[in-house]
Amino acid sequence: MSEEALRRQLYDSFKNRAILYYLIYDEIRRELGPEKAEAILGRAIYRRGTQKGQEKYAQYGPDDLAGLQKAFLDGIPDEGRMFQPEVIRGDAQGLDIKFHGCPLRDAWQEAGLPDDEVATICRIAARVDNGTFEAAGFRFSADTWQPGGDGCCCLHIRPGKPST
């Protein structure tokens, strides 16, 4: 298989994941309303993040931001091209990473979702990052995509509390 074919399959799998997130959200929303749909899907995605954080990044918590930065950025698919990360801040007090691309957001926009729904599903999907970095022992917040915004998410990772 050629590298280009493999790359196409990789991007298609992210697009498939995005559409599945939306369809699951939409079904739950129809049954229980948008607030409960966001809460339920957000919790499930957060749980997956905690698994990922414990498996891949716990060794860096609560305060090895340099190690976390290298491990996290090295794991971004297609040598970083998929999300186009930019480290805005990378020191002992904080790690801020701005993504200039997102295949999930792109898939939702290509599917014709209105901007407000794209913003909602971006917020839900970003819960994986909350779970990932919090389970690894860091404090975390994110600015998710908003209509008219530049790029996509911006992750804010800070040292966590040392375990006692």
pLDDT of 162 reads 76
Classify 3-158 by CATH class: alpha beta
pLDDT of 164 reads 58
pLDDT of 163 reads 65
Q: pLDDT tens track of the chain, all 164 residues?
A: 899 999 999 999 999 999 999 999 999 999 999 999 999 999 999 999 999 999 999 999 999 999 999 999 999 999 999 999 999 999 999 999 999 999 999 999 999 999 999 999 999 999 999 999 999 999 999 999 999 988 999 999 999 987 65
Q: Region of 13 please: left (phi>0), alpha (psi -120 to 50) or beta.
A: alpha
- pTM of the predicted structure, to 2 decimals: 0.94
Q: What tens digit of pLDDT does each residue of 33-55 get?
A: 999 999 999 999 999 999 999 99
Domain boundaries, the chain: 3-158
pLDDT of 31 reads 98
- Cα separations in angstroms, 30 against 25, 27, 37, 57, 121: 9, 5, 8, 36, 15
CA 52 from centroid of its chain's CA atoms: 12
